Amino acid sequence: MENTQVEQTVTLLKEDGVGIITLNRPHLFNAFNTQLNIDLLAALKDVGKDPEVRAVIITGAGKAFCSGQDLSDRSAVQGEVPSLGDSVRKRYNPLILAMTEMEKPIIAAVNGAAAGAGCSLALACDMRFISDRGKFVEAFVRIGLAPDSGSSWFLSRLVGVGRAMELAMTGRNVGAEEAVQIGLANKLVPHDRLLEETLAFAKQLAQGPTRAIGLTKRALYKALDTDVAGALEYEAQVQEIAGKTKDFHEGITSFLEKRPPRYRGE
């Protein structure tokens, strides 16, 4: 009998308000195939809708974070060259938009190589903790392609246009220490403590005022594409929303009562 079992390309664990999404194709360095795209988007939608999940971690199983597109999965059909533009629009753009539009913090735990679309995935997270075995590679140029999956947007905003041009045009490896120095990563962590430290940080965020953190994320992204006046007006709008939350009331009450706040993400 033929084995029709579908590969479990993504695992999702929820612990103390944190959703841990693990890319699970370690035998292929967690390279994207169609099923991984589908399963990752489903996991992102799950944690995005779950009120009990107030922070998210994305990491990879095995030695890599994500090596990018599985090239064998994108082979030509009947001798025809597939439309890479359609593939990016249908398979990758929804992932990146789901991440940036999710009003919860997302932290990448970069446990190994993050290359190509895997690098883009890590850059689309709100923060990145990197193992001393981790590296970033804008690998697109190595196979004659331009950056996709958000790299052209995130990279220059993280490291500046000149550095982004260099990394994207050469496709060179950026090791963990350099990644922190130039702003690609927030923190360098010993490999065997990566998930532990990332999870501790995520749990700390999960205990915070989730609505305010989500509005902060929204405002920071908005400010990247507007002028000062527009940013000021948007700040006023999100502050209006934040001021009506239960967490704001708790923040004021706990301050007056001189006790730690007990935020519930409401």
pLDDT value for 87: 86
Residues whose CB falls within 8 Å of the CB of residue 30, separated by 6 or more in sequence, listed in order: 23, 24, 36, 60, 61, 62, 64, 65, 66, 67, 118
Residues 174/135, Cβ–Cβ less than 8 Å: yes
Q: Which residues of 225-260 are buried (b: 16+ CB within 10 A; e: fewer)?
A: eeeeeebeebeeebeeebeebebbebbeeeeeeeee
Residue 2 has pLDDT above 70, yes or no: no
pLDDT value for 76: 41
Work out the pLDDT band at 80, boundaries 50, 70, 90. low
pTM for this predicted structure: 0.92
Residue with tokens 């082979």: 75
257 sits in the region (left: phi over 0; alpha: psi -120 to 50; else beta) called: alpha
pLDDT value for 86: 82
Full set of structural domains in the chain with CATH:
10-206 (3.90.226.10), 210-256 (1.10.12.10)
> Which candidate, 67, 149, 179, 154, places its Cα nearest to that of 112?
67
pLDDT value for 74: 54
Q: Which residues of 200-222 are buried (b: 16+ CB within 10 A; e: fewer)?
A: ebbbebbbbbbbbbbbbbbbeeb
User: To the nearest whole percent, how much of the chain has pLDDT over 70?
Assistant: 94
Residues 114/226, Cβ–Cβ less than 8 Å: no
Q: What is the pLDDT of residues 45-56, one digit of tens each?
A: 999 999 999 999
pLDDT value for 82: 74
Q: How far is CA 190 from the centre of its chain?
A: 20
